[in-house]
Structure 1
Amino acid sequence: MRIWQGIFKKRSMRLGLLALAALTASGAADPAVAGENLADIARSVDLVWMLLGGFLVFWMQAGFALVESGFTRAKNAVNIIAKNLMDFALGCPFYFIIGYGLMFGADKLGLIGTSNFALNGVTDMWDIGFFFFQAMFAATAATIVSGAMAERTQFKAYLFYTVFISAFIYPVVGHWIWGGGWLAEKGFLDFAGSTVVHSVGGWAALTGAIFLGPRIGKYTPDGRSKAIPGHNIPLAALGVFILWFGWFGFNGGSTIAATNWNISLVLVTTTLAAAAGTCGALFYSWIRFGKPDIAMALNGALAGLVSITAPAYDVSAVSSLIIGLIGGVLVVAAVEFIDKVLHVDDPVGAVSVHAVCGVWGTIALGLFAESQYGNGVSGLFFGGGLSQLLVQLEGIIVVAVWTIAASAAVFTVAKYLIGLRASREEELKGLDITEHGQEAYAGFEIFSNE
């Protein structure tokens, strides 16, 4: 380790001397001028890092598409892909026109932004890059909903809803927490979006699943839950690996600065929590069901990632293992509870992963934060008392109420204006043929298990 440190120091010294020589040669021998040039270089590096993070978050759209299509039946794979495609293709322009201004515009009473709609008045290139990065996050919040509503939602109704979450529901929460709104003023912390992105998507997913009701054949007349297996676990696994990789941009990019060396901590806590979440879900499902359930383990990886998204910047590596492990166990318990007790049909476990673990991750910051990291706050377990935890809990409750109420309003309008649920015939045949006139696997005969 010391050898590598020595090499790194020597290499850094050489780079520094080369940079100084270049500045001097360009007429920047004046220390003040040299300082300005170095500041410009640092800002450029920060911009590139933020854009790279945005690229990785965009790549997560592919991960969501593969996870959701793999965990659902073959007769609905085209429909799932179409929804994930249009989440981004519709959500991004509407976030540009309306959402970004509501989220990051000039504050009005701590509730909404009131400027920068369609980037009007935004001329600084760094700010334009920041919009790009944030637009990728808005698309992520929207795409979470499609998994819970899979296999029985009319395509036009889903398009109607995804516009509202990208343009209005998500940005309002984003302003409260990231845009200088009232929750930010109270000290609520959510580094990369356990609440802002994942809980918003998760609560909206829960609302949509309740409005739709379960898939045909999901529950017996006496209320017992029947498993409806996904058609392609390898596809879902590839999606999880893509999401895990993309999360390095989701969390790491949220430093918004390559010159912020806390990136190292964020990436370590992200990786460890994901690994621990995988182990927690695998071993708990093994104990609970008698077999190591790989589908649960895949969701466990995502559970660990969602759980660490809020506290990644503020907790130690050891704490991240605990947070991820608990998230992995929670997701298995939540999937079973939501399915068998609440009788809410969530084909991919989106509510368990994003809402339940989003809440857990937000609480975890109030428990495990240490003042030596990130924002300089301490949670309950490290001498900070209850103050941060109580703020976190307040934010969780308010965001849940807002998202559920706003989503319910949109789904109600969709239900009576254009129709929400596919017909029985369409659902039995599969939405690929009935909605799109296409098959994901042309040439293969797809059987329904009803």
Structure 2
Amino acid sequence: MDTTTTNWEASVTDSINAIYLLFSAYLVFVMQLGFAMLCAGSVRAKNAMNIMLTNVVDAVVGSLSYYLFGFAFAFGSEGPNANPFIGTQFFALKDIPSSSYDYSFFLYQWAFAIAVAGITAGSIAERTQFSAYLIFSFFLTGFVYPIVAHWVWSPSGWLSPTSGSLLFGSGAIDFAGSGVIHLVGAIAGLWGSLIEGPRVGRFDAFGKPVTMRGHNATLVVLGTFLLWFGWFGFNPGSFNKILVAYPNVSDQGNWTGVGRTAVTTTLAGSTAGIVTLFGRRLLVGHWDALDVCNGVLGGFVAITSGCSVVEPWAAIICGFVAAWVLIGLNILCLKLRFDDPLEATQLHGGCGAWGVIFTGLFAEQKFVIQAYDSGEAGISRPYGLLRGGGWGLIGAQVVEVVVVLFWVSITMGPMFYTLQKLDILRISIEEEIAGLDISRHGGKAYIDIHEEAGPQHYHEYMRLQNQ
């Protein structure tokens, strides 16, 4: 074959891969808008401005933190193809000589990184000082999360399924981050919520929970659908290259896994949503749209680990179990007087941990080879325990869950405790009762009509409305 033709084909392939990865990054970034809408609708009106601001802060602070430090910790390496985001080049985003990492890859990983802090922010909403958000967002995005990402996603990571030395001959398969993203953010939020304590009035004098519903169900549903849309970049987009060389299988490529990954994602989320709908109906006696939204998201969180390596029927099982994990953890948290306004710890933590374990049970060998060995024939890898693949993969999955719990606990726990001791974590009782928007952000997010037009105009407006 002519060298010019070969180079042209390689250029076209690289271009298509870059466009696909960038488009996926944009979809994942849309999830920030979904998080913002979900959070805003889930809190009381007096804290709407605060929670919106924290979502913006998660993005902008996380961007700088991940650029300066996080990417280097996650994907830095030594040798001739060393990642230039490391060492003396922390502060210089230079042209990258190695095809292993480029600007598209950085942007995609950045979109993942800033999602982690958003999970934690939901757990400590409505009672946290704004300065604390700035500190934990920078620390979590730049230092805590990237270490886990390196362990699981870097070719040199000790848990990575693409490393030269596979743990238990397998490595941990966490394709798009049930553990790396969701469990990390949830455990950080768990420690923040525990150290801060519940919101004022969340439990009565006898320890019984008092309902504190969010102020806008429309925003919650809007945020859920935006997150659903973004998840099609989150999961299928984790095939960083859709056009790759398959040595011995001429009609296969990563592009064949992209559609399947989108389908498994949809089925898991939908199943979890419908199970939550009926499960909560049995428990509380009515149909609850907000519970269904969280159920859908719990299914997405769970399937994120194994979305590329399981059959669609297995995704339904994943979503079914995820719904009950979420329902059960919510009941348990109320009994333990644990207050997480967005159920982020239960949703992202419980369903994330289940998703990692689920992958170790149901992963198919042919899909594992497709996703991690470019479809090469003659490869043998551990796969799902319940699919006959032995204990190697499930063992690595359990190790991932344990080390994430340990690492995030020993880093974020002391950080939140220090902030609390320095009196820069939780706001005062008076400020919490008044609402963060009034006490910390200059006024309400919503202007009452009688405040805008005056009492006389307000009464006239109400008279006309009642006619």
The residue number in structure 2 matching 1:45 is 16
Structure-1 separation of matches of 2:277 and 2:91: 45
CA separation in 2, counterparts of 1:122 and 1:367? 41
8 Å CA contact 1:72, 1:231 repeated in 2: yes
Match for residue 55 of structure 1 among 20, 23, 26: 26
CA–CA separation in structure 1 for the residues paired with 2:145 and 2:348: 14
The amino acid across from 1:336 in the alignment is: I
Distance (Å, rounded) in 1 between the aligned partners of 2:66 and 2:393: 31
Q: Is the 8 A contact 2:271 2:316 kept in 1?
A: yes
Q: How many angstroms apart in 2 are the aligned matches of 1:65 and 1:342?
A: 28
CA-to-partner distance for each residue in 1:156-199, whole Å, 9 max, x for gaps?
Answer: 11111111001101011111111222122421110000000000
Match for residue 15 of structure 1?
none
Q: Give the conservation status (yes or no) of the 8 Å contact 2:71–2:106.
A: yes
Counterpart for residue 14 of structure 1: none
What residue in structure 2 maps to residue 134 of structure 1?
109
Q: How does 1:44-443 map to 2 (within 5 A)?
A: 44-106=15-77, 115=87, 117-118=90-91, 122-124=95-97, 127-179=102-154, 180-184=156-160, 185-186=166-167, 187-259=171-243, 260-261=254-255, 262-338=257-333, 340-373=334-367, 374-375=371-372, 377-417=382-422, 419-443=424-448
* C-alpha contact (below 8 Å) 1:359/1:396 kept by paired residues: yes
AA aligned to 2:126 is: E
Separation of aligned partners in 1, 2:242 and 2:396:
29
CA change 1:145–1:107 in 2 (3 A) is farther
CA contact (8 A) 2:196 2:420 kept: no
Cα offset, 1:377, TM superposition: 4.3
Quick check: 1:101–1:118 contact (8 Å CA) kept in 2?
no
Residue ranges of structure 1 left out of the alignment (5+ in a row): 1-29
> Which whole-Å CA distance do the structure 2 matches of 1:418 and 1:157 have between them?
10
Shift of 1:122: 4.7
Tell me if structure 1 keeps the 8 A contact 2:329–2:346: yes
Deviations 1:397-441 (A, max 9, x none): 111111122111211222233511010111001001111113211
For residues 71 and 224 of structure 1, the distance between their equivalents in structure 2, rounded to whole angstroms, comes to 21
Could you tell me whether the CA contact under 8 Å between 2:326 and 2:351 is conserved in 1?
yes
Change (3 A) 1:445 1:336: farther
Unpaired runs of 5+ residues, structure 2, are 161-165, 244-253, 373-380, 452-467
Change (3 A) 1:445 1:275: farther
One-letter code aligned to 1:273: A
- In the alignment, the residues of structure 2 paired with residue 119 and residue 282 of structure 1 have an alpha-carbon distance, to the nearest angstrom, of 50
Q: Percent identity?
A: 38
Q: Counterpart amino acid of 1:314?
A: V
Question: Where does residue 458 of structure 2 map in the other structure?
Answer: none
Q: Normalising by structure 2, what TM-score? A: 0.85
**May I ask how many residue pairs the two structures share in their alignment?**
413
**Aligned position for 1:26:** none
- The answer to whether the 8 A contact 1:189-1:392 is kept is yes
Displacement of 1:103 after TM fit? 0.6
Q: Is the 8 A contact 1:432 1:438 kept in 2?
A: yes
| 386 and 128 in structure 1: CA distance in 2 versus 1, 3 angstrom threshold | same
The aligned counterpart of 2:460 is none
Higher mean Cα deviation, 287-296 or 275-284? Answer: 287-296
SS of the counterpart of 1:183?
Answer: coil
Letter in structure 1 aligned against 2:279: Y
Q: How far 1:293 sits from its partner (Å)?
A: 2.1
Task: Give, in angstroms, the shift of residue 258 of structure 1.
Answer: 3.1
1:274 is aligned with what amino acid? Answer: G
* Cα distance in 2 between the residues matched to 1:168 and 1:100: 9
- Deviation of residue 313 (structure 1)? 0.8
Over the aligned positions, Cα root-mean-square deviation in angstroms equals 1.9
- 1:123 is matched by which residue type in structure 2? I
How far the C-alpha of 1:265 sits from its partner, in A, is 1.1
Contact 1:151 1:427 in 2 (8 A): yes
CA distance in 2, matches of 1:264, 1:236: 28
1:73, 1:129 → 2: CA distance? 38
SS in 2 for 1:286: helix
Measure, in 2, the Cα distance between the counterparts of 1:45 and 1:38. 11
Query: What SS class does the counterpart of residue 106 from structure 1 fall into?
Result: coil
Shift, 1:117, TM fit: 2.4
Distance apart, 1:443 and its partner CA: 2.2
The amino acid across from 1:426 in the alignment is E
Does the 8 Å CA contact 2:280/2:287 hold for their aligned counterparts? yes
Distance 2:180 2:134 in 1: 21
Q: Is the 8 A contact 1:99 1:117 kept in 2?
A: no
Report the alpha carbon displacement of residue 65 of structure 1 after superposing the two structures with TM. Answer: 0.8
CA offset at residue 211 of structure 1? 0.9
Is the 2:382–2:392 contact (alpha carbons within 8 Å) kept by the matching residues of 1?
no
Instruction: Please give the alpha-carbon distance, in whole angstroms, between the structure 1 residues aligned to 2:315 and 2:449.
Output: 45
User: 2: distance between equivalents of 1:248 and 1:95?
Assistant: 23
Q: 1:444 to 1:394 in 2, by over 3 A?
A: farther
> 2:461 is matched with which residue?
none
